[in-house]
Amino acid sequence: MKMFLLIFLILFNSTLLAKVNKRSLMEFYNGCLDDAKNKEKYEVGLKVCKCAINLIDKQLDNEEFEKIFNSNDQLSNKWMRENLLPNCNYEKN
């Protein structure tokens, strides 16, 4: 019984500590890589996209992520300009 309780607490706490839904982060990451491939900048995209999802997960909770990235392009572009550009060595081309 103690083992079950311990496993439950670990799983429950990891869910509470997760800031942005992992599925949303993976969708963002895959979309980011697809964009990099289309621009023939895949190698740079690997670093930038990984930095972006790490930054998003550190700075946003799931509700904020949904509001910013599932609403309109202006809001997501603004967030990325203010956060991604200065922190992920990303040059917009």
Q: Mean pLDDT in the chain?
A: 80
- The Cα 18–Cα 15 span in angstroms is 5
State the helix-helix crossing angle for 62-69 and 22-38, rounded to 10 degrees: 30
Say if 68 falls within a structural domain.
yes
pLDDT of residue 14: 41
Domain total in the chain: 1
Which structural domain, as residue segments, surrounds residue 41?
20-87
Domain for residue 92, yes or no?
Answer: no
More confident residue, 64 or 41: 64
Categorize the per-residue pLDDT at 5 as very low, low, confident or very high, splitting at 50, 70 and 90.
very low
Q: Where are the beta strands (DSSP E) in 1-93?
A: none
